[in-house]
Amino acid sequence: MTRHHTTEIAVIGAGVIGLAVAERLLAEGRTVTLIDPGDPGMGASYGNAGTIADYAVAPVGTPDVLTALPSLLLNRNSPLAIRHAGLPALLPWLLRFARQSLPGPAARNAAAIAALLKGAGPLWQDLAARIGATQILHPRGCLYLYGSPAEAARAEAEMARRRALGVSVRVIDGTELAQLEPGLPPLAGAAFFPDAIFLDDPGAMMQALAAKVLTGAEHLRFAATALSRGPDGVAVTGPGFQLKARRVVLAAGAHSRALARMAGDAIPLDTERGYHVEWDMQAPLLTRPSCVMARGFYLCPMKGRLRAVGTVELGGLTAPPSAHRIAKLVEGARSVFPDLPATPDRSWMGFRPSIPDSVPVIGASRGGADVIHAFGHGHLGVTLAPVTAGLVADLLAGRTPGRSMDACLPTRF
């Protein structure tokens, strides 16, 4: 039997983007229905590094990455890896990624990301206050760790580019690093981003956000598999249900591509598979997220546990988790903290929605403003959630957005 529903605004996807959008719309008095087959906020938003990364202006694709791309893709131990069985399907995406990694496009993409990131920290502080979760936020900054003086010296040029885009950062030596994080082994230095904010329990933050949203929005536990326009709105359908909405916000993360095409947009969206491993502990080994740059992963002092998280694996939505990628995370964490047990207490894999230029897709679909896209945030989904929510709310209300959206529009493809 098919269940029929109606609503003013349907938000497809209950990850951090969909939840933040719904929270903002409810605050403006809109009627909202969430569509997601899973528990709200328990996808990629749950398993990440927990950083409000206002410093993360660099796209994944850069000239340095382009130069190293062949060796990165062939080396199964690199921070950027690909499942070789999926290479034929990924080739169109990789060709776009290579073009976006050229100097001109990479610089434009960094500027676009930086413009989106402005004010993300204060917006998160406001959001956390509204949902009663300020205790999860910690304004301690973030570190990029360098193991050798040469590595730290090479970082200066990249940090200069970030400063030019408005990022606050200091490159500190090993002595100052030891004062900030005495639990770390001796290292050559670090880049310190003092304005970064840390969530010590992303899952708890997602639960608080979901609880707030679900006091005013209905959650339909169905998978949306099709949408179509009609004279009286947009029909969203799936196995056993149909919903008619005046407006639809597509915020289904890595699962958005097929629905976006039905709305009129062929978006080059693919999937980065992210991993984490965790060790339970009473006392933290460090006090702020710290990225081991040589290995491309973060060490994060979550509440009651240490999380090692990161790497980029292009592998689609269907393949099982890679035991090799999990083992590399364990190896990396134990290279910093050798007393960690060889077997972590848990491991996890989630799906990041990845666009070749690393800029999210936000804006009205080609087929009309009755469908608004809000997906493709890559590594910045949590960071950009309240920014995206404000932009989507402006679009739905017919207001001029408070910041330029030209670089985010689906019409760029």
pLDDT band of residue 1 (cuts 50, 70, 90) is low
Task: Let me know whether 310 and 378 are in one domain.
Answer: no
Q: Angle 202-213/16-27 helices, nearest 10 degrees?
A: 40
Is residue 35 a part of any domain in this protein? yes
- Domain co-membership, 95 together with 42: no
- Domain membership of residue 310 (yes or no) is yes
**Does a structural domain hold residue 262?**
yes
pLDDT at 84 over 90: no
Parallel/antiparallel/unpaired status of strands 305-314 and 297-302? antiparallel
pLDDT digits (tens, 9 = 90+) for 8-55: 999 999 999 999 999 999 999 999 999 999 999 888 788 899 999 999
Q: Residue 71: pLDDT above 80?
A: no
pLDDT (0 to 100) of residue 114: 97
How far is Cα 270 from Cα 407, in angstroms, rounded to an integer?
Answer: 19
- Domain count across the chain: 2
Q: Does a structural domain hold residue 128?
A: no
pLDDT(206) > 80: yes
Taking only the tens place, the pLDDT of each residue in 280-328 is: 999 999 999 999 999 989 999 999 999 999 877 887 787 888 898 899 9
15 with 142, same domain: the answer is no
Are 399 and 381 members of one domain? yes
Residue-wise pLDDT for 346-355, tens only, equals 999 988 999 9
Predicted pLDDT at 318: 78
* Of the residues 354, 373, 390, the one at which a domain ends: 354
Of 257, 216, 215, 220, give the one whose Cα is nearest residue 37: 220
Mean pLDDT of 80-99: 82
Residue ranges making up the domain that contains 12: 3-46+205-268+358-412
> Are 174 and 66 contained in the same domain?
yes
Q: Are residues 181 and 293 in the same domain?
A: yes
For residue 172, is pLDDT > 80?
Answer: yes
CATH number at residue 282: 3.30.9.10
User: Are residues 226 and 293 both part of a single domain?
Assistant: no
114-151 pLDDT, tens digit each: 999 999 999 999 999 999 999 999 999 999 999 999 99
**163 shares a domain with 87:** yes
Q: Which region among 68-82, 231-245, 331-345, 399-413 has the lowest average model confidence (pLDDT)?
A: 68-82
Question: pLDDT tens for residues 367-376?
Answer: 999 999 999 9
Task: Tell whether 112 is covered by a domain.
Answer: no
3-state secondary structure (DSSP) of residue 329: helix
Choose one of 309, 328, 354: the last residue of a domain: 354
Inter-CA distances, 100 with 95, 137, 160, Å: 9, 34, 21
The 3 state secondary structure assigned to 30-55 is: CCEEEECCCCCCCCCCCCCCCEECCC
- Please state, rounded to an integer, the average pLDDT across all residues of the chain: 93
d(CA 11, CA 33): 6
Shared domain check, 155 and 35: no
| 32 within a domain of the structure (yes/no) | yes
CA distance between the termini of the chain = 39
- What is the mean predicted confidence (pLDDT) over 383-387? 98
Max mean pLDDT range (83-92, 149-158, 188-197): 188-197
Structural tokens at position 181: 């994080």
